[in-house]
Structures are given as C-alpha cells and as structure tokens.
Amino acid sequence: MAQTDGGRILIVSNRGPVVFSRSESGEREYSRGAGGLVTALNAVSRRSEDSVWIASSQSEEDARVAGEPAPYEVEDLCLALVEHDPEAYDLMYNTLANPLLWFVQHGIYDLPYAPAFGDDTRRAWEEGYVPVNRNFADAVSRIAGDEEGETTILLHDYQLYMTPHFVRERLGAEAFISFFVHIPWPESDYWRVLPDYVRRGVLESLLESNVVAFHTRRYARNFLDTAAEVLGAEVDLEKGVVYRDGREVWVRAYPISIDPSEFEELAESDAVLEQESWVSDLPGKLLLRVDRMDLSKNVVRGFRAYGKMLKRYPEMKGEVTFLAQLQPSRGDIEEYARYAEAIREVVGEVNDEHSDDDWMPIELSMEDNFPRSVAAYKNYDALIVNAIRDGMNLVAKEAAIVNEKDGVLILSENAGAREELGEHALTVNPFDLDEQADAIHRALTMPAEEKERRASALRETVLDNTIEDWAEAQMRDIEAYRERLS
C-alpha cells in the first residue's frame, strides 16, 4: 500500500462523515452522512492511522464538538469540526457555491438573463466565501502545526477553492496540497462567466496546490485550457502540468467510485428487502431513474422522451413502469422550485395521456427513500442517467453492482461516468428527445444475450476501479510527485 510514510493526512471537506446531535436524555449521538463523497473520503481516511478529517460544523452539537480539543474520535475516524460565522457560511453556501459555482460548472444558466453580478456577489465573496475558506485554512494549519513530519492535505470540492491559497500562505512551500474538484470543470468560455475576482482568484488559489484532480480526463483538459486562457499560465496539455512560479502543478483525472461490498450488503438488508416487495409489484418492466432533484439532472426531458417512446411504440403501453426516485434538493432556491413544478407538470401530462385503469406510466416519488432506491437498483430492466452534465454520477455504478436483471444503462454522454462505462451503455445526447426515446425502447426490448454481455461488462468495469483503487491512485501520484522533488 502506497501510504505516505509516517506522514499525517488531513482531509478537508465542507460536509463531514457524521453529524452530532443530543438525545433526549442529553447524550451525544451521531448519524452518518450520506452521499458518495463521504463514502469516498471514508476510504481515504481509513488508509492512514494518522489522518484527521476537517469539516464544517453543521448542527448545535457539532458546534460543541468544534469547541472541544481536536481531534475528536468517532468509530475509526479522527474529526476536527470548524465553526464558521453563520452569516459568512450562509453567503458562502447559498450565494457563492450554490447556485453560482454550481450553475457555472454545470452550464445551466439562462445566459441572456442570468447571472447578473453586483454588490451582492462581491459581498458574498469577500464576506462569505473567502473568510470561510480562511477559517478552513486556519484549522488546517493548527492541526498540521501540531506535529513534525510530512503532512498531506487533501482538500475537497467547490466550497473550498480558496483554501489552498491560505494554506500555502500559512504552511509555506513544504505543505503538500492536493485539491479534488468533484463537479465538472467547464470549458474556459463558461468559466469566464464569473466575475474577474472569482475566476482569477479561484484559479490562482487552485494553482497553489501540488495536484489538482478531477473525475475525468475531459475536466482535467478543460482546467488546463482555462488556466492558459484566463491566467495566461504555461501548460503542457500532454503531460497534464501547469508551470507556475517554478513549481509544477499536476492536473490529473481519478474517476471516483464506490465500495461494492457496501452495496452488496445493503442489497440484502431488511430495509431494502421490505421495499423490494413494493417495487416488484409495479406492473411490467421497470425503467428507473434515481436522482437528486437538480436542474442539471435533466428530469423533464427524460419524461418527455419516455412519453415520445410510448407514442411511437404503443405496444409498450402497460408493459413498463417508469419509477422516478427524486430526492428533494435546494427547494428554497427559486430555480429549483420552478424545476420541481415543471417535473410535476410533465409527469401529469404523460400519465394523463397514456394511463388506463390498470396502469400508470410514471410512478413519481419525490421523497428521500434510499432503501427503495436500492430495491429498485436490484430490479430495473433499464436505468436512465441522462444528465445535462454530471461530475461522475455514482448511481450508474451503484446500480450496476446490485442489479439482478441484466438491466441496461442509458447514459448521458455528458456524465463523467461515460469515460469508463460509455462503451457498455446506450449513450445519449441529453438534449435529443428522439435519441432518448429510441434508447429507452431499445433497452426495454434488448435480446437477453446482449443485455447479459453489457451488464457483466458494466459490473466488471466498476469492480476494476473501486473506491479503494481511486484512493490508491491518488496516493501513488502524491508519492511520485514527492520522489521527483527529493
């Protein structure tokens, strides 16, 4: 195992692995955070006995933990929680990171009208994003400063873009900083939508890292182009290097993955088995989507394409149910509320047009029900992941591992997962309803032999690059970078 010898690993992400609360009897409790990033960072954290995970305080009890001497041990993890000024955190999270950076990096602005940057944007940057990032860097330097020896600092995602700048300022050239961006990196024209102080500020900060990492080669390439276009930085596209003040910044792609055994166990859990009887009762073949309800996920077009398929192949009526498990998200943002409304509308239209007494074409679930999603993973005949843009999309990987029906994956060419899974999926242009309608039909009528071949290949591909491999590949490169320097 390519663990850094004796060195300490600091993992920093906005959300931590657990959230603390207090029971009625006044005892401290915690619940595990959900989501692919937390699982992934758990895998990284477990690689070193001497690792500390730094994250934002998210609850009252978290704030108490943050006030106690760090690190705080829970299960096999060492935690350090950071308390931010609530107003600064709100500006960072609800003005700068979501929606601004999220919208730019997913390319989902209606550019003739939005965004329109003004004083509010600058304030959210100066009084929100920057101080929160400085706060993270202070925590990093406090903890890194406690001990001798090499420290590897692994910073994660778009809430933390300015942290490398402040960490470098505090810890100097010796600190090894790796920054992982978990959402797409856009092409430079779209990055340049951002105000000058953000687009330059973020790039200059990220280039204080030793390694900047993404899920796909495409995002890494876009980042190199953006650095060259916006900063005039010297880049080597072939080698994936930015040359900066005599230093090398390695720009790399490590496709994130899952822990297959976690999902295999989950698939046999009581909660999932309970939901499975409900899922099995849905009439006909099962077409599935599982998504957070986000503008980037392309839910509306997915339903429209399904409606088109039913019109074009009326013999499919009654022979399939489209189960959509949509986890509510960011409902307080106007664009998201409007999108949820558009989803309800198109579902109503398709169901009104095609349903009969015994059959409802779309089964829409807008609640958080992970056991039901896993039960559906096991039973789908076709899974649609048609995102407009998606950093990776772990649903495609999770589902491939537990599915028992040789289900077919319909995959957007703009999902990060396409680089690994594309050749075994039916890839679609997310903007082309016809192509998606045909892909749905093809998936649902595919000969058993082809289904089996594709499903096995998907499964093999996921097993070939698990979350362990993902962590390992990064550590190997960090070692290689260090060896080149010494």
State the residues that interact with its own copies by CB under 8 A: 107-108, 110-113, 115-119, 121-122, 186-190, 192-196, 295-296, 298, 300-301, 304, 308, 339, 342, 388, 413-414, 429, 431-435
**Residue 392, burial from CB neighbour count under 10 angstroms (0-12, 13-18, 19+):** buried
| Three-state secondary structure call for residue 169 | helix
Report the residue number, 57 or 298, with the smaller CB distance to its own copies: 298
By beta-carbon proximity to its own copies, the closer residue of 210 and 226 is 226
Dihedrals phi, psi of 211, to nearest 5 degrees: -130, 135
Q: How are beta strands 320-327 and 408-412 bridged, if at all?
A: unpaired
Partners of 349 in the β-ladder: none
Return the number of the residue (13 or 386) whose C-beta is nearest its own copies.
386
**Six-digit token pair at 371?**
């056991």
In the complex with its own copies, the residue whose CB is nearer, 59 or 429, is 429
What is the identity of the amino acid at 215?
Answer: H
* Minimum gap (Å) between residue 468 Cβ and its own copies: 31
The secondary element (H helix, E strand) that includes residue 63 is helix 60-67
Minimum distance from residue 113 beta carbon to its own copies (Å): 7
Minimal distance, residue 105 CB to its own copies, in Å: 12
Q: Pairing between strand 408-412 and 382-385?
A: parallel
- CA-closest candidate to residue 270, choices 374, 195, 132: 374
In the bound complex, what is the minimum distance in angstroms from residue 217's beta carbon to its own copies?
12
Residue 127 is encoded by which pair of tokens? 């009084």
* Side-by-side strand order, sheet with 320-327: 362-365, 320-327, 285-292, 382-385, 408-412, 426-428
Q: Which is nearer to its own copies, 65 or 410 (CB)?
A: 410
25 Cβ neighbours under 8 A, 6+ residues apart = none
Nearest to 229 by CA among 187, 186, 184, 188: 188
Torsion sign, CA atoms 128, 28, 77, 50 = positive
Name which of 275 and 412 has its Cβ closer to its own copies.
412
Structure tokens at 375: 């039960």
Least distance from its own copies to the Cβ atom of residue 118, Å: 5
Could you give the maximum distance between any two Cα atoms of the chain, in Å?
73
What is the nearest approach in angstroms of its own copies to the Cβ of residue 340? Answer: 12
**Least separation, in Å, of the C-beta of 304 and its own copies?**
6
The C-alpha atoms of residue 208 and residue 206 are separated, in whole angstroms, by 5
- In this structure, what are the phi and psi dihedrals at residue 73, rounded to the nearest 5 degrees? -95, 130
Query: What is the rounded distance in angstroms from the CA atom of residue 40 to the CA atom of residue 471?
Result: 8
The smaller minimum CB distance to its own copies, of residues 308 and 454, is found at 308
Please tell me the distance from the alpha carbon of residue 287 to that of residue 353, in angstroms, as a whole number. Answer: 18
Decide whether 45 or 222 has the Cβ nearer to its own copies: 222
Nearest approach in angstroms of CB 73 to its own copies is: 43
Nearer to its own copies, 115 or 318 (CB): 115
Min separation Cβ 187 and its own copies, Å: 4
Give the nearer residue to its own copies in terms of CB position, either 150 or 413.
Answer: 413
Rg of the chain on CA atoms, in Å: 23
Question: Does the N-terminal peptide bond of residue 99 adopt cis geometry, omega within 30 degrees of 0?
Answer: yes
What 3-state class would DSSP assign to 145?
A: helix
Between residues 61 and 294, which has the closer beta carbon with respect to its own copies? 294
CB of 112 to its own copies, least distance (A): 4
State the nearest-atom distance from the C-beta of 128 to its own copies, in Å: 16
> Where in 320-371 does DSSP place strands (E)?
320-327, 362-365
Q: Which residues pair with 244 in a beta bridge?
A: 247
Q: Tell me how far apart the terminal alpha carbons of the chain are, to the nearest angstrom.
A: 20
